[in-house]
Amino acid sequence: MPLIHLSPRVAYIPGGVNVGAIQGEGNAVVLVDTGINETAGKKALKTVREEVGGEIVAILTTHAHADHFGANAAVVKRTGARVYAPEFDEAILRYPLLQPATLYGGADPLDTLRGGFLLAHASPVDEIVRPGPLTVAGVDIEVVSLAGHSVNQVGYLVDGVFFCADVVLPAAVLDKYKIPYLFSVTDHLTALDTARDVPCDVAVPGHGPHLADLGELVALNRALVEAVLAKTLDLAIERTTAGAILAGLLTAFGAPVHDAPSFYLLQPTVLACLSHLHRTEKVRHAVEGGRSWWTAVP
């Protein structure tokens, strides 16, 4: 698929996951994410070689979800590229079983949770990235903390182009899945404000088309999270369990949950909502009778 150029040295390859391509010194090219699998990695490599005439020397990983780093291993095998990843998330790149295991409550995950969407091939990690300035292949990049969708998701700002990962999801994705996966609602709400205020000429989300202004999409994503929080509180007016709240949310929002992956992707979001509401003193938590109970604060 052809590159979409956004500045003299910054472009991206559109797809299920948008893959950034930054022209560095000489013929060096830096990718931002790689896509879900070996096929995606081969396409990125072919596009860079044919359209840029360059070689991939580094991969900037935004976060540790398989659809974003699943092709890292394939690209590294063919190029020797160095992999950069944020703290904590980098552990999942190296040990991908951690992703389905954490979704499954920290236990040995079901075999149905071990498909390519949740379980990637392991990726090496050569450099840990932290918020602030970073120079790769002679290119000055700003690393921006966007934690919330994953434990420590980051975005990359270069030459006025902001690769903002999954801090915002396009309307089409929200309409399809109804409720987004979130590790931390508290951090995600902060990340939405951060992303909105990043000074850039164009933003490239992990999914969907690039945008001149993130404001409208930030507002749309925030409104959905706030609606899920409000419904969570409503479902906890009478003492209840997280499982009952999850069932109520799935029904209320019409979320298409029909298998283990879709169910276990949204269970953490409900718990993240409850953690946020507990942190903000809007719900109470108790363990009684061998169960974990949640009650809204009057």
Pick from 125, 127, 161, 169: which is nearest to 142 by CA?
Answer: 161
Helix (H) or strand (E) holding 91: helix 89-94
Q: Which of 170, 192, 225 is the last residue of a domain?
A: 225
Q: Answer with the residue of higher pLDDT: 1 or 135.
A: 135
User: What is the span of the domain harbouring residue 182?
Assistant: 4-225
Judge contact between 229 and 277, C-beta under 8 A. Answer: yes
pLDDT value for 1: 56
Cβ burial, residue 202 (10 Å; 0-12/13-18/19+): middle
Question: Which pTM does this prediction carry?
Answer: 0.96
- In the chain, what percentage of residues exceed pLDDT 90? 99
Measured between alpha carbons, how far is residue 50 from residues 38, 44, 54, 55, 146 in Å?
A: 18, 10, 8, 10, 33
Same domain, 22 and 150: yes
pLDDT at residue 63 tops 90: yes
Within the chain, how many helices (H) and strands (E) appear?
A: 10, 14
| Residue from 194, 187, 49, 61 nearest 123 by CA | 61
Q: What is the mean pLDDT of residues 25-38?
A: 97
**What is the tens place of the pLDDT at every residue in 113-132?**
999 999 999 999 999 999 99
Same domain? 148 vs 255: no
Question: At residue 90, does pLDDT exceed 70?
Answer: yes
Phi/psi at 9 (5° precision): -130, 10
Domain-ending residue, one of 225, 256, 272: 225
The CATH number of the domain where 184 resides is what? 3.60.15.10
User: Are 133 and 268 found together in one domain?
Assistant: no
The CATH number of residue 240's host domain is 1.10.10
260 and 153 part of one domain: no
Same domain for 115 and 260 = no
Same domain, 170 and 39: yes
Tokens 């992703």 correspond to what residue? Answer: 99
Rounded to the nearest integer, the mean pLDDT of the chain is 97
Which token pair is 147?
């934690």
Q: How many domains does the chain have?
A: 2
Co-location of 265 and 131 in the same domain: no
190 plus 290 within the same structural domain: no
Strand order in the sheet with 19-23: 4-7, 10-13, 19-23, 28-32, 55-60, 82-86, 127-129
If asked whether residues 73 and 178 sit together in one domain, one would say: yes
Other C-beta atoms within 10 Å of 91: how many?
Answer: 15
Q: Which residue has the higher pLDDT, 1 or 188?
A: 188
Per the CB < 8 A criterion, the answer to whether 242 and 193 are in contact is: no
State which of 225, 255, 284 marks the end of a domain. 225
